[in-house]
Structures are given as C-alpha cells and as structure tokens.
Amino acid sequence: MTKTVLIIGAGIAGCAASHQFSRLGGFKTTIIDSAPVIGAGVRTDWYGGHPFTFGPRYFLTQNQKVFDYFNQIVPLRVWDEHEYLTYVEKDQRFYTYPIHMGDIRHMPDADKILIELDKRINKNLSDASNFEEYWSKAVGQTLYDKFIDGYNKKMWQVDSNKEIDFYSWSPKGVDLETGMRGAWNSAICAYPYAYNGYNNFFDISTSECEIILNTSLEVINIEKKKFKIQNLERQFDIVVNTISPDLLFNQDEGALNYIGRDIEKIIFPSEYVLPKNVFFLYYSGKESYTRIVEYKKLTKHKSNTSLLGIEYPSKNGRHYPVPTKKGYNLAGNYIERLPDNFYSIGRAGSYLYAIDMDDCVEQALNLYDIVKSGGSKGMVECNAIKKFSPKN
Ligand SMILES: Cc1cc2nc3c(=O)[nH]c(=O)nc-3n(C[C@H](O)[C@H](O)[C@H](O)COP(=O)(O)OP(=O)(O)OC[C@H]3O[C@@H](n4cnc5c(N)ncnc54)[C@H](O)[C@@H]3O)c2cc1C
C-alpha cells in the first residue's frame, strides 16, 4: 500500500529528503513551506543582472558519496584555489582566514604570539568551560583578541563569549598549521556550473511531490502525525521535519534561540572588486557586518560589474542555532518526543550550527537507508553530528 509522507520545510534538506522517497518508490509525498518558493536561502535569485543566493552557499564536502549524488543531479564545478581574508583593525591589515602560521610570522606582535602558541601546547583544552576559555587557550590570548573575540560576539550577538559554551567546531578540519589548505586537502569545494545555481536540484528533487507553499505548519497531533494544512485535516504515515523542533510542540518546554541575517546587496562598477581567488572577507572587529561575499567568484557570471553581499547578524530568520549546551539539550528533548517514523534533519531540524548544505544532503541519503530498512525515528545522523554534537 502507498504510504503518505509529509516533509516540513522545502530547503535543501527537505528537497533532498523528498527525492529519497521518489528513489525508494511507493510513497505519496507532500512538502509544505511557509515561503513562496522552494529552496530557501540556497535558491538563486537575480539582482542587477547577477545571480546570487542568500549568503555564499558553496558546496564544501568531505563526503564523496554526497558529492557524487548531488553532482549527478546538478553538475558542480570543483575548484582548488580560493581564499578568505579577515580584516584586523588593530593591525590595519587583512590576513588569511582561518588564522594561519604563514601570516602569524609577519604580524607586528609575532614574538608575543609565538610565545603564547608555545605555551598552549601544555594546556588541556578538554576542561575549558566556554568558548572564550577554549579559544584563548587554543590559540593564545593575542590571536584570540585579534581574530575571534569580536567576531564571535558579533556573530552570536552576545556581550561575552563566556555565554557560548559549545565551541569545539572548526570549519571542516582547518588547523593553525595548514589554515584553509587543511580543509582543501580533505574536502571538495564546489558550486553549480549553471547560472541558476542549485535551482534545478530543487525542481528535480520535488518533481514527484505535492508542493504546498505560503503555508505554515499547523500541528493537530504530533503522536498521530496529524496536521491542519490549508484548512484540511491530514494524517501522514511518515513525517520529515526540517524546521526548528520547538515549533512542533508549541515551544512547551521553551523556545530555541537563533541568530538571523540581513544581507545588503551592492553592485560595483568594475569586473572584480576583491583580489584574485578571494571569495569572502571576514571582519573581526566592531563593524556591524561579519562577512562580505563577491558572488561572481562562486557563480563565474560574466559581467563588467560585480555584485557583493554584506552580511549583518540580525533577528531576522532562524538561520544560526546559537551554540549553547542548554539549547542543544532542549532541542534533543523535543526530538526525543517524536513518535515512530517521524524524523528530524537539516540545520534547524538538528539544531546544530555545524550542519551545512552537504550535511543536509548526507542526512537525506541516510534517511533513504533508514526507511528502506524498515524505519526508525528522531534525529537522522551524519558525520557532522557525530563529530560536533556536544552529546558525542
Ligand atoms: C547566510 C548563510 C550562508 C551560508 N553559506 C553556506 C555555504 O557557503 N556552504 C554551506 O554548505 N552552507 C552554508 N550555509 C548553511 C546551509 O546553507 C544550511 O545549513 C542549509 O541550507 C540548511 O538547509 P535546511 O533545509 O536545513 O533549512 P532551510 O534552508 O532553513 O529550510 C527550511 C525551510 O523551512 C521553511 N519553514 C520554516 N518554518 C516553517 C513553518 N513553520 N512552516 C512551514 N515551513 C517553514 C522555511 O521557509 C525554509 O524554506 C549558510 C547559511 C546561511 C544562513
């Protein structure tokens, strides 16, 4: 008998999940989203003749299976050479991001930093109780003050980084010795060849699915998987959630905290603005923005103007789950309350900042295996959860 599936949220996680049910066959799938289009912030839109997404959204993965799956649907251009820079006002200089020994040796306070780095070898990081303690021990006080303190406060909109007590992530294997090279060596960096970016993925992955847009989820009974959708009561055999789990339970144990984003788009009258191979600039100081992205570097769009996006942390949207153990535990409590055949995936659905686009796809592929082998419930694992979740 055909089983019915509801997918809540049509971002990359929801769309990838929808595709798994088409691949499995024998399911009637419905996807619901409060937005007017599928794809969320990963969807390509156009401004001043330039394609852009909400933030960079480049595909960085260490998982060949995820890359192969995605690349088969939307061919991805792979690149090796790219850089991010961080501006440090104290030195009035840009440095390679993440912090890198090659740069440190040329800093005005290099002697002091190198002594602090030597001392850090004897420090035990596992007993650090918050982000500030962890990172000031990990890289020394001077580098922490220059690169991390201001950026992190701005990113999470906190007065003190002691408020952030979950800190053991680093972008895909980057370390001090190798900087971004460390990530390049073990990860594939890519972006779609197509000027419309990932949009074909969203269309293809949901092509056999009923799509309901401009509609927020109304829960009638989670245990029975019963919802009110456009004034109709509907019950499903399987549910895949990709939105914040507190919303499924009317926040009855408390609300989960997120930071949102505003992005200002600016067209510049030159073919490129940032130096060759530089995709992003990060700002570690008191500026109100965290990052500037030159979209062309990703999209390879040809034009004699260039579009840059300036990102401001804000209250708009539930984009970044705030990394506190209290938050992860609360999200975990909500997810544990889900009944059989009710799953949670995606960045908000896992309440984990470390969940990137590739991790959403990995969770969807793992969901395929779970459903195929008879089903289960709750959070769908992926490597990022194994590596970065405070529970592991
Ligand atoms: C600015 C920015 C830049 C990023 N850049 C990168 C990058 O370069 N590379 C990378 O790998 N990752 C990047 N990420 C992270 C990555 O894009 C996300 O982890 C991923 O897109 C999350 O997908 P998702 O499907 O889980 O959630 P979302 O994309 O948030 O989708 C959730 C969907 O649920 C819908 N929804 C929400 N509430 C309801 C409701 N009550 N009822 C119905 N629908 C609802 C929303 O409208 C949305 O469409 C970036 C994130 C941001 C915010």
Which residues 6+ apart lie within 8 Å of 174 measured at CB?
98, 180, 182, 183
**Each residue of 256-315: pLDDT tens digit?**
999 999 999 999 999 999 999 899 999 999 999 999 999 999 999 999 999 999 999 999
Phi and psi at 109, nearest 5°, equal -105, 30
Closest ligand 1 atom to 215 CA: 43
Cα of 284 to ligand 1 centre, how many Å? Answer: 24
**By alpha-carbon position, which residue is closest to atom 29 of ligand 1?**
11
Q: Is the pLDDT reported for residue 169 higher than 60?
A: no
Q: How would residue 178 be classed by pLDDT, with cut points 50, 70 and 90? A: low
Cα of 120 to ligand 1 centre, how many Å? Answer: 37
Cα of 126 to ligand 1 centre, how many Å? Answer: 31
Q: What domains does the chain contain, in order, with CATH numbers?
A: 3-43+198-253+322-388 (3.50.50.60)
Give the pLDDT score at 98: 76
Give the pLDDT score at 137: 85
Closest ligand 1 atom to 12 CA: 25
Name the token pair of 212: 């309901």
Give the pLDDT score at 96: 86
**If DSSP states are collapsed to H, E and C, what string results for the chain?**
CCEEEEEECCCHHHHHHHHHHHHHCCEEEEEECCCCCCCHHHCCEEECCEEECCCCCCEEECCHHHHHHHHHHCCEEEECCCEEEEEECCCCEEEEECCCHHHHCCCCCHHHHHHHHHHHCCCCHHHCCCHHHHHHHHHCHHHHHHHHHHHHHHHHCCCCHHHCCCCCCCHHHCECCCEHHHHHHHCEEEEECCCCCCHHHHHHHCCCCEEECCCCCEEEECCCCEEEECCEEEECCEEEECCCHHHHHCCCCCCCCEEEEEEEEEEECCCCCCCCCEEEEEECCCCCCCEEEECHHHHCCCCCCEEEEEEEEECCCCCEECCCHHHHHHHHHHHHCCCCCEEECCHHHHCCCCCCHHHHHHHHHHHHHHHHCCCCCEECCCHHHHHHCCCC
Give the pLDDT score at 224: 98
Give the pLDDT score at 278: 92
Q: Is the pLDDT reported for residue 390 higher than 70?
A: no
Give the pLDDT score at 265: 98
Report whether 140 contacts 113 (CB < 8 A).
yes
Residues with CB under 6 A from ligand 1: 8-14, 32-35, 40-42, 54-58, 60, 216-217, 242-243, 247, 261, 311, 319, 346-349, 355-358, 360
Closest ligand 1 atom to 61 CA: 11
Cα of 337 to ligand 1 centre, how many Å? Answer: 23
**By alpha-carbon position, which residue is closest to atom 13 of ligand 1?**
57
Give the pLDDT score at 186: 72
Based on the number of CB atoms within 10 Å of its own CB, is 242 exposed (0-12), middle (13-18) or buried (19 or more)? buried
**By alpha-carbon position, which residue is closest to atom 7 of ligand 1?**
57
Closest ligand 1 atom to 348 CA: 26
**By alpha-carbon position, which residue is closest to atom 1 of ligand 1?**
55
Cα of 259 to ligand 1 centre, how many Å? Answer: 12
What mean pLDDT is predicted for residues 225-238? 97
Single pTM value for the model: 0.95
Q: Is the pLDDT reported for residue 241 higher than 80?
A: yes
391 or 350, higher pLDDT: 350
Q: How would residue 127 be classed by pLDDT, with cut points 50, 70 and 90? A: confident
Give the pLDDT score at 377: 98
**Each residue of 329-386: pLDDT tens digit?**
999 999 999 999 999 999 999 999 989 999 999 999 999 999 999 999 999 999 989 8
CA distance 161 to 151: 10
Q: How would residue 1 be classed by pLDDT, with cut points 50, 70 and 90? A: confident
Cα of 304 to ligand 1 centre, how many Å? Answer: 31
| Average pLDDT, rounded, for the chain | 92
**Each residue of 94-119: pLDDT tens digit?**
998 778 888 999 999 999 999 998 88
Cα of 330 to ligand 1 centre, how many Å? Answer: 20
Give the pLDDT score at 128: 81
Q: How would residue 83 be classed by pLDDT, with cut points 50, 70 and 90? A: confident
Closest ligand 1 atom to 54 CA: 1
Q: What percent of the chain has pLDDT over 90?
A: 80
**By alpha-carbon position, which residue is closest to atom 52 of ligand 1?**
55
Cα of 43 to ligand 1 centre, how many Å? Answer: 10
Q: What percent of the chain has pLDDT over 70?
A: 93
**By alpha-carbon position, which residue is closest to atom 38 of ligand 1?**
243
294 or 168, higher pLDDT: 294
